Amino acid sequence: MASTEDFTMVADWATDFDHADPQYNRNAHAIWAELRGTCPVAHSDRYGGTWLPTTHEYVREIAYDTENFTSRGVVVEKGLPLEPAPIGGAPPITSDPPFHIEARKLLLPPFAPKKIEPWEPEIRKLCNGLLDAMVDNVAQGKPIDAAADYAKRIPVNVIARMLGFPLKDEELFLEFVHNVLEGIDDEPEIRIEKFERLIQYVIAQIEDHHASPRDDLTSYLMSVELFGSKLSVEHVGGSIILLLIAGIDTTWSAIGSSLWHLATHHEDLARLVADPSLIPTAVEEFLRVYAPVTMARLVAKDHDFHGCPMKVDDWVLLPFPAANLDPLVFPDADKVLIDRTENRHSAFGLGIHRCLGSNLARLELTVAIQEFIARFPSFEIAGTEDDVVWSVGQIRGPREMPIRVIDNQI
């Protein structure tokens, strides 16, 4: 199979799509719109067989159907995950019922709204520190990178502090995340080798916490009990890896896409600068339109899905972003309306796997936008759209985004 799966450019998105094609994320909205109208469950032979539903109804149906679809695999790759259901390699995201809720219940309390709210001043301080570091370049009329030097730095710092990991290792975390989420075209052996480095790093941190427990998420996970006993090292490590992987690229992408929108829609930027109380509403609209996360499932049983013959171990992409753009559910779905008040979007998923970090992600996103536009009330992309580098794979957002601040009085 290797020869057919080697990366080749996609010619027809309905029959041969590949979400690792750089054109996919760049043109995602147009591709989904076309597929939704012509072929709402597309199929491709790549990755051993992959399905791509694009309507809200189908995405929702699959998210709720944990019988026919397993979360054992949530990142489409060339090999299949080694760990079996219902636990999987990184509980709870890779877990199915009935185990899933048990693992999820351990992580829900530290991420509940009232535990996350106190982080607000810290996040505000962090954003301002990053903005301070940009002031010199701005004063000299040089571009700043709002994706790599701002959006990216916020979630990595926050999650490292929550886990109680050394902040000097931030670059390393970013590399780990990149390997898992964007290295999807690597051969399975290479992926496993890279993953092994991440596992070893996390085990070393667990040992360090074993020697000196502290008030952080790592020590918390090492102390809680499930079915009357402490969690296995594999479970603790898997959950830590999940928190590292799930929280960084996603939030980075959401902040980056929101700033991209404001850099390219000056009327919206001016409106938010004039009326910051609209920011929380606008953030929900950015989450809807630029939802960064497409999940995946593996087919658990051979079955017919609305006429599509799904086979065990076929991959199914679960594009919550495409569901958010379905005109049957959202009036003017393709328009970005920053004052849209009725917004039942599914950027954080639907059903039992609803993003555990959604309260934290919303806080980081809101504060990041508030502080950025308060400091730089007018800005645009420096250069052309081609100077913006978009991610590859299931998490969609700008990775590099040169910004020129306009007429800033600092």
Where does this chain bind ligand HEM (CB under 6 A)? 63, 71, 74, 92-93, 104, 155, 159, 242-243, 246-247, 250-251, 254, 292-293, 295, 320, 347-349, 353, 355-357, 360-361
CB-closest chain residue to ligand HEM: 357
User: Are 391 and 397 within 8 A, CB to CB?
Assistant: yes
| Dihedral pair phi/psi, residue 202, rounded to 5° | -65, -40
Q: Name, in order, each residue with C-beta under 8 angstroms of 110's C-beta and a sequence gap of 6 or more.
A: 162, 217, 220
- Can residue 97 be called a binding residue for another protein (CB under 8 A)? no
- Can residue 370 be called a binding residue for another protein (CB under 8 A)? no
Q: Answer with the entry of ligand HEM, another protein, none that 340 interacts with (C-beta below 5 to 8 A by kind).
A: none
- CA–CA separation, 311 vs 301, rounded Å? 7
- DSSP-based three-state secondary structure for 124: helix
Choose, by CB under 8 A, the member of 84, 109, 166, 188 that binds another protein. 109
Q: Answer with the entry of another protein, ligand HEM, none that 112 interacts with (C-beta below 5 to 8 A by kind).
A: another protein
Complex with ligand HEM: residue 25 or 71, whichever CB lies closer: 71
Complex with ligand HEM: residue 10 or 69, whichever CB lies closer: 69
Q: Name, in order, each residue with C-beta under 8 angstroms of 20's C-beta and a sequence gap of 6 or more.
A: 7, 184, 185, 392, 393
- Can residue 354 be called a binding residue for another protein (CB under 8 A)? yes
- Token pair 């051969």 is found at 187
- CA–CA separation, 372 vs 292, rounded Å? 20
Choose, by CB under 8 A, the member of 130, 242, 272, 350 that binds another protein. 350
- DSSP-based three-state secondary structure for 293: strand
User: Are 395 and 282 within 8 A, CB to CB?
Assistant: no
Q: Nearest Cα to 292, choosing from 403, 159, 392, 162?
A: 392
Per-residue mark of binding to another protein, 317-346 (x: CB under 8 A): ------------------------xxxxxx
- Can residue 290 be called a binding residue for another protein (CB under 8 A)? no
The binding site for another protein (CB under 8 A) comprises: 105, 108-109, 111-114, 280, 284, 341-346, 348, 350-352, 354, 358-359, 362
